[in-house]
């Protein structure tokens, strides 16, 4: 059955999931949950465990221990009916170079019991003008749009997006974000991995930061890290200085006493999700060095 807690229905839930490869621990007791219609972004550096966790939830990799369910099914024991409810956009998809965009999307639509209209999906990812082009002639960004089309053609209840906008230009990224917002509004549950922190900020209802196979922070994007702090930057000689503070006005007043006139290149901004993420990763790397001493 799908988990229910406090009237929230969870489409995805993993509890204390572990995975080791020989002496390397990829996941060291990871727990995440994604409510129906929610988007959870998994953030972390390369090798942190994002892909391993995603592949376990997709049913492509076995976990060593812990519990997992996606749409009420253990992904370690997948069925064809269950797979038909999933949409998966991998980092690297097969080329199918000799088929056209329209042929490819139409062909994949036949794998699903309730597919979307191929022409509408092609339009949704911005490939209508390339519908008759062979896949081998597409640019990297256009090929990525086709990957997304193949991930959503089956009208999935759960959509896994692994670095979906790699190769997209800024306009295409914004169009894609609009598509994901529409899918969320229609009730699609989304698990997103991305290196674009602005993408996570825009799309995700919650984010989970993973490092060394462990979740080091989880919550709404604005709750991650010390987001209430301000970051003050200025110049002293040839050096750019920076300071985080929860009292920027008082800090700037003290700083001004060190200068005869205006503070050079002064700027004040609130900490972003990227700032919080980089701080968490730096703290984790610092703890690793401490453990090794």
Structure confidence by residue, pLDDT tens digits, 40-88 = 999 998 888 999 999 999 999 999 999 999 999 999 999 999 999 999 9
Q: Is the pLDDT of residue 270 over 80?
A: no
Could you count the other beta carbons within 10 Å of the beta carbon of residue 102? 17
Please indicate, yes or no, if residue 63 is contained in any of the structural domains: no
Q: In angstroms, what CA-CA distances link 63 with 22, 53, 85?
A: 14, 9, 21
Tens of pLDDT, residues 107-142: 999 999 999 999 999 998 889 999 999 998 988 778
Please indicate, yes or no, if residue 247 is contained in any of the structural domains: yes
SS3 content of the chain, % helix, strand, coil (to 5): 35, 30, 35
Contact between 242 and 275 (Cβ < 8 Å): no
Please indicate, yes or no, if residue 220 is contained in any of the structural domains: no
- Residue 21 CA to residue 37 CA, distance in Å, equals 33
Number of domains within the chain: 1
Please indicate, yes or no, if residue 256 is contained in any of the structural domains: yes
Q: Which of 177, 180, 202 is nearest to 189 (CA)?
A: 180
Range of the domain at 264: 230-292
What percentage of residues in the chain have a pLDDT greater than 90? 56
Question: What is the pTM assigned to this prediction?
Answer: 0.78
Please indicate, yes or no, if residue 157 is contained in any of the structural domains: no
* pLDDT confidence band for 25 (50 / 70 / 90): very high
Greater confidence (275 vs 188) lies with 188
- Residue 161 CA to residue 177 CA, distance in Å, equals 12
């Amino acid at each position: 059955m799908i988990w229910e807690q406090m009237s929230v229905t969870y489409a995805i839930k993993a509890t204390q999931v572990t995975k080791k490869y020989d002496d390397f621990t990829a996941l060291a007791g990871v727990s995440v949950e994604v409510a129906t219609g929610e988007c959870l972004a998994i953030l972390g550096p390369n090798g942190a465990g994002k892909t391993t966790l995603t592949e376990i939830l997709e049913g492509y990799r076995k976990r060593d221990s812990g519990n997992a369910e996606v749409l009420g099914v253990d992904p370690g024991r997948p069925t064809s009916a269950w797979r038909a409810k999933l949409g998966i956009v991998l980092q690297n998809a097969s080329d199918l170079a000799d088929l056209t965009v329209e042929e490819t999307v139409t062909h994949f639509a036949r794998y699903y019991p309730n597919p979307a209209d191929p022409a509408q999906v092609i339009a949704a990812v911005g490939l209508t003008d390339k519908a008759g082009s062979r896949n081998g002639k597409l640019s990297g960004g256009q090929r990525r749009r086709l990957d997304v089309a193949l991930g959503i053609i089956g009208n999935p209840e759960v959509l896994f997006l692994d670095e979906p906008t790699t190769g997209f230009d800024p306009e295409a990224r914004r169009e894609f974000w609009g598509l994901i917002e529409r899918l969320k509004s229609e009730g699609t549950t989304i698990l997103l991995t991305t290196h674009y922190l602005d993408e996570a900020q825009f799309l995700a209802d919650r984010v989970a930061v993973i490092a060394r196979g462990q979740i080091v922070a989880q919550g709404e994007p604005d709750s991650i890290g010390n987001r209430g702090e301000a970051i003050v930057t200025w110049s002293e000689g040839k050096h750019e200085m920076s300071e985080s503070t929860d009292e920027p006005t008082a800090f700037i007043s003290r700083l001004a006493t060190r200068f005869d006139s205006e503070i050079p290149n002064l700027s004040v901004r609130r900490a972003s999700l990227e700032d919080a993420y980089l701080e968490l990763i730096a703290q984790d790397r610092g703890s690793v060095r401490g453990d090794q001493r």
